[in-house]
Amino acid sequence: MKSFNQLKKNLKLDFSGKKVVKIAILGDSATQFYSQCLRATGFDSGFDLQIFEADFNQIEYQVLTPDSELYKFQPEIVVIYQSSHKLLLKYNKIGEKERLSLSDDRISLLDRLVDSIESRLNSKIIYFNYTEIDDAVFGSFANKVESSFVFQLRKLNYQLNEFALQHPNFFVCDISSIQNQIRKDVFYQASIYVNTEMLISIDALPFVAKETMDIIEAFFGKIKKCLILDLDNTLWGGVIGDDGIESIQIGSLGIGKAFTEFQYWIKKLKERGIILAVCSKNTESVAKEPFEKHPDMVLKLDDIAVFVANWENKADNIRRIQSILNIGFDSMVFLDDNPAERCIVRENIPEITVPELPEDPADYLEYLYSLNLFETVSYSAQDGERTKQYQTEAKRIIEQDRFTNEDDFLKSLDMVSLVEPFNKFNEPRVAQLTQRSNQFNLRTVRYTDSDILRIANDNTFFSQTFTLEDKFGDNGLICIVLLKAEDQDTLFIDTWLMSCRVLKRGMENFTLNTIVKLAKEKGFRWLKGEYIPTPKNQMVRDHYLNLGFEAKYGFWFLDVDSYIEKECFISKK
């Protein structure tokens, strides 16, 4: 990781062309270095963070005063850092009874702060959790004394998580975990605190800024979606082609343990929605053998969405995986024990993330934990189904080869779609799709769970979500259209996005037929569309043109009265 000093040099570079995001930073200790470090870290991730930094120790004033600088600034993100150190100073001064409610009181203060922000801004809140301080007044016995600082601090971190569960726009930045990782004496330097009121040491700043940045990137859809794995000496010890299935190292003995535990980690990622792919220099049947027959393998063939084993160049194989999955290289991570392979992949596909795995497989996990590669800002129970969906997609591709006529193929799929407005059941998936979709996304507006709820109750909006199911399986909710009444004649298409899994299935036609029908029913004359270009949504540049919209005043218009229903092979469920 770059040092603070190296990062600071970014501040003199040209930020033009980077994504502008307005961020407010409020702290109960000095935050100047943190602000600089965050802006500098943002530069490396393609962001121009415009930061408003409140004067020292003004959190309550800024948040609770309606016309404060905070509200004038109108940030998209508010970062709040209330430190453990200041909490301890407060604790020192109060009596036993108040000590017992230290955590509860902090949570009720937080409740007021978050309420106030949410009533005045439509912004996301990033709140630092509390790094541990053991004031050693009770020793380990503190864990049996409810009024001890240690007890209250740990309770507070737990209550913070519960608070986060209740507030969709509130996100905890886990700096407590960073302190565990880099050690307390690195995180905090008393001499610097005494002289400056700064509680995060210069060495810890890049870690804290990165953790914050990971969350910010996830807000804007920059997340990892796929993990590509080498096999020999990455998933198991030894070389399957040479050593044979009896001799590879996996299981509960010796170094085998390390690989088993590593596989459990990968399995958890898969269950939480990360797509797994294999890219190995091997004969395919040999490479698959452990997955099928080895009793200690945690990962099974079912867990792998795309399995590529051959003797070709790995960069080419990864390109093949990418074309099947249809997601950006920048959302992929490639793990390989061989430095030469890593180097080839990195040189040929610079966007992909290729961690420098440590030489000793026993160190893989701790190293990968420290990188925090898989930050996210949403999770829904269906995420675990994703691998299955990509596997069925691979089957569809094979089926398609049997047909020479595209229409015959589409007809053979028996496609049905369930069309529904936003509701409390689909809200997490809807929010997630608005955050994840980059390619088939006309305006790339991101919404959080709470935005979706707000829109669902706003009668100037009309929302439509679409699922797509066929004889191979259910793709789930894959398309969202959000319409806003601009005037009594015009419906503006605020959002039209679709998962790339269902490209070329006629879903665009079905969607348009559906929303034209809705527009007519509600008495509108025009559908008005807009394409806002991003580096990633080239594929929909001519979307409205292709669907018969006419260009006017920089927008696209469709007269719903003269619309002729488009052909498609999807029926309404």
Binds another protein (CB under 8 A): choice among 4, 151, 259, 462: 4
C-beta of 192 vs 255, nearer to another protein: 192
Interatomic CA distance for residues 408 and 395, integer angstroms:
17
Binds another protein (CB under 8 A): choice among 1, 20, 136, 190: 190
Stretch that binds another protein, among 5-13, 116-124, 254-262, 508-516 (CB under 8 A): 5-13
Residue whose C-alpha is closest to residue 328's, from 440, 230, 431: 440
1 binds another protein (CB under 8 A): no
C-beta of 9 vs 471, nearer to another protein: 9
Could you tell me the CA-to-CA distances from 555 to 177, 358, 511, 522 in Å, in that order?
A: 48, 52, 19, 22
CB atoms within 10 A of CB 55: 10
Angle separating helix axes 449-456 and 427-436, nearest 10 degrees: 120
Binds another protein (CB under 8 A): choice among 201, 260, 376, 380: 201
545 binds another protein (CB under 8 A): no
**Per-residue b/e over 276-296, b at no fewer than 16 CB within 10 Å?**
bbbbbbbeeeebbbbbeebeb
Sort residue 495 into left (φ over 0), alpha (ψ -120 to 50) or beta: beta
Closest separation in Å from C-beta 181 to another protein: 20
207 binds another protein (CB under 8 A): no
Tokens, residue 377: 């800002």
192 binds another protein (CB under 8 A): yes
C-beta of 179 vs 389, nearer to another protein: 179
Size of the site for another protein (CB under 8 A): 18
C-beta of 140 vs 191, nearer to another protein: 191
Binds another protein (CB under 8 A): choice among 108, 196, 538, 571: 196
β-bridge partners, 193: none
5 binds another protein (CB under 8 A): yes
Residue whose C-alpha is closest to residue 326's, from 26, 100, 536: 536
β-bridge partners, 48: 20
Closest separation in Å from C-beta 12 to another protein: 7
Interaction pattern, residues 27-46, with another protein; x per rule: CB under 8 A: -----xx-------------
C-beta of 192 vs 416, nearer to another protein: 192
Three-state secondary structure readout of 537-558: CHHHCCHHHHCCCEEECCEEEE
Element of type H or E holding 339: helix 339-348
C-beta of 199 vs 442, nearer to another protein: 199
C-beta of 5 vs 252, nearer to another protein: 5
186 binds another protein (CB under 8 A): no
Interaction pattern, residues 140-179, with another protein; x per rule: CB under 8 A: ----------------------------------------
Binds another protein (CB under 8 A): choice among 63, 80, 198, 240: 198
Three-state secondary structure readout of 118-149: HHHCCCEEEEECCCCCCCCCCHHHHHHCCCCH
Residues from 496 through 535 that contact another protein (CB under 8 A): none
* Cβ-based neighbours of 119, under 8 Å, separated by 6 or more: none
> DSSP alpha helices (H): ranges in 189-255?
190-196, 205-219, 240-243
Closest separation in Å from C-beta 10 to another protein: 11
Binds another protein (CB under 8 A): choice among 14, 95, 166, 194: 194
Closest separation in Å from C-beta 5 to another protein: 6
Residue type, 44: D
Give phi and psi for 295, each to the nearest 5.
Answer: -65, -25
**Binding footprint of another protein on the chain (CB under 8 A):** 4-5, 8-9, 12, 32-33, 189-192, 194-196, 198, 201-203
